[in-house]
Amino acid sequence: MKDSELLVLKVLRTPWARQQFLLHWLRSHWADILGHTAADHSQPYRLENGTLYVHTDNPMWSNQLHMMQGKLLGQLNRQLVPALQGRKRILREMKFYHGIIQEEIQPREDKGPFMPKVDPSRRCPVCGVPLIGEEEICSACRREQVQTLRREIRKQLVLRPWLRYEDCRELVKCDRITFTDVKAVLGEWALNRALDPKATAQEKAFAVLLETGLRPKELQEETIVRTLEKARRSRYYVPARRK
């Protein structure tokens, strides 16, 4: 990163503003990092809590970039080394989603650093603090809304672990990315419980319902055993070391 860009990062006060700047930087340098071919089919969409969400225009590119995630994370964090400020890495995870990229792709030419503007006349409708840039709600209140949404999605999945995104959307106004992420986190937690030797039959059934999307009346003991055994093998499998 350039010295001018590092200076901008230092003066930005809120986590939301720093994330927006880093997202702008990643979009501006995306082709230089990935190469023009991959950049023509993908676009950084959102940066939140160390997770970079990327949209692609083809499932093949989602799969290919997912397979390269480890390499990409190392490369991206090396590019952001001057901005780490004592942290080991800024980006911890990348998530890829196939879908139409509706946002305008940032031009590749460097037009200088991005500086969010504060308009004192525009205030958060919830808490009243001045808004930064194009914010409709301040970062703190937005964070609380996101957490509330995630809790509601989790509640629905606990009650109905077989829910798909289309079903959940009829109960909770949510987007696919948030639903998928909440379900993945809950699924990981449920599998950990189910694979415990002391797990109850109910905990095992819940994990399998969440994993397979089957309804309770469709669930068979054989399916529970097979699903959990597959999960156990995938967790404890150690690939042979190359010689």
Same domain, 36 and 97: yes
* Domain finish residue from 106, 121, 142: 106
What integer pLDDT is reported at residue 216 of this predicted model? 92
Q: Which range of residues forms the domain containing residue 203?
A: 158-236
Give me the chain's average pLDDT, please: 78
Query: Number of folded domains in the chain?
Result: 2
**How do residues 89-98 score in pLDDT, each as one tens digit?**
678 888 887 7
Judge whether 132 lies within some domain. Answer: no
- 144, with CB counted inside 10 A (0-12, 13-18, 19+), is middle
| E strand or H helix that includes residue 227 | helix 221-236
Distance CA 70, CA 11 (A): 31
Distance CA 102, CA 192 (A): 38
- Is residue 228 predicted with pLDDT exceeding 70? yes
Structure tokens at 239: 């690939």
What residue type is 26 in one-letter code? L
**How do residues 164-212 score in pLDDT, each as one tens digit?**
999 999 999 988 888 988 898 898 899 999 999 999 999 999 999 999 9
Q: What is the mean pLDDT of residues 44-52?
A: 83
**How do residues 6-30 score in pLDDT, each as one tens digit?**
566 566 667 777 777 888 888 888 8
- Is residue 109 predicted with pLDDT exceeding 60? no
Judge whether 101 lies within some domain. Answer: yes
Distance CA 43, CA 26 (A): 9
Distance CA 106, CA 185 (A): 32
